Structure 1
Amino acid sequence: MPQAVGVIQTLGFPAVLAAADAMVKGARVTIVYFDKAERGEFLVAVRGPISEVTPSVEAGLKAATNTFGGEVVSHYIVPNPPENVLAVLPLEYTPEVEAFR
């Protein structure tokens, strides 16, 4: 089954928390990465089937935008990421998240 990666970057922690919550509740996806970016920005990345990542990211964008003070800085969906991208970027399913797949 083709996999995709969806990423949302927000300004402020409450917005990324709302986005991550909506993403995993809105579709069958797994959070594979979360970290702080620069200047108070945070990002969250999910993986799953292409048909699930798209509505997941849409739900996350809506939740982050509706969060008081929340601002979406950037977002992107990568359908079928190539192996060399997965080898370099921290987007693989780790043993910690494997149980939630």
Structure 2
Amino acid sequence: MPMAVGVVETQGFPAVLAAADAMVKAAEVTIVQSDKSESARFFVAVRGQVAEVERSVEAGIEAGNNAYGGKVITYYIVPNPPENVESILPIHHTPESEPFRLF
């Protein structure tokens, strides 16, 4: 089963909160990372099957842009990330995300 990682970066915390909420409600994905990236920018990363991540990211973009004062800065989907990318970047399942893992 092809897996993917999807990331949405927003300007401001309310927009990333709205994006994260919409992402997990729109598709069967697990949030694996969320943090501040720089200068009032925040990101949320999800993992799941490729089609689920695509649907999730679409919902996150819409919700982030519709949040009051919200703005999605960028987003990206990586289908089938190689092991070396997963081992270096914060896109792997953690002990905190493991109870919510869907796959």
Range into which the TM-score falls when normalised by the shorter chain: over 0.9
- CA distance in structure 1 between the partners assigned to 2:12 and 2:92 by the alignment: 25
Deviation at 1:82, TM superposition (A): 0.5
Deviation at 1:76, TM superposition (A): 0.3
**TM-score (ref. length: structure 2):** 0.96
- CA distance in structure 2 between the partners assigned to 1:3 and 1:61 by the alignment: 20
Percent of pairs with identical residues? 64
CA RMSD, Structure 1 to Structure 2 (Å)? 0.6
Segments of 4+ in structure 1 off by > 2 A? none
Partner of 2:88: 88
- CA distance in structure 2 between the partners assigned to 1:54 and 1:39 by the alignment: 27
Partner of 1:72: 72
Q: Within 5 Å, which residues of 2 pair with 1:1-101?
A: 1-101=1-101
Give CA deviations for 1:17-69 in whole Å, capped at 9, x if unaligned. Answer: 00000000000000000010111000000000001000000000000011110
- CA distance in structure 2 between the partners assigned to 1:12 and 1:99 by the alignment: 28
Unmatched 5+ stretches in structure 2: none
**TM-score (ref. length: structure 1):** 0.98
Paired residue secondary structure (2:59): helix
- Number of residues paired by the alignment? 101
Deviation at 1:97, TM superposition (A): 1.1
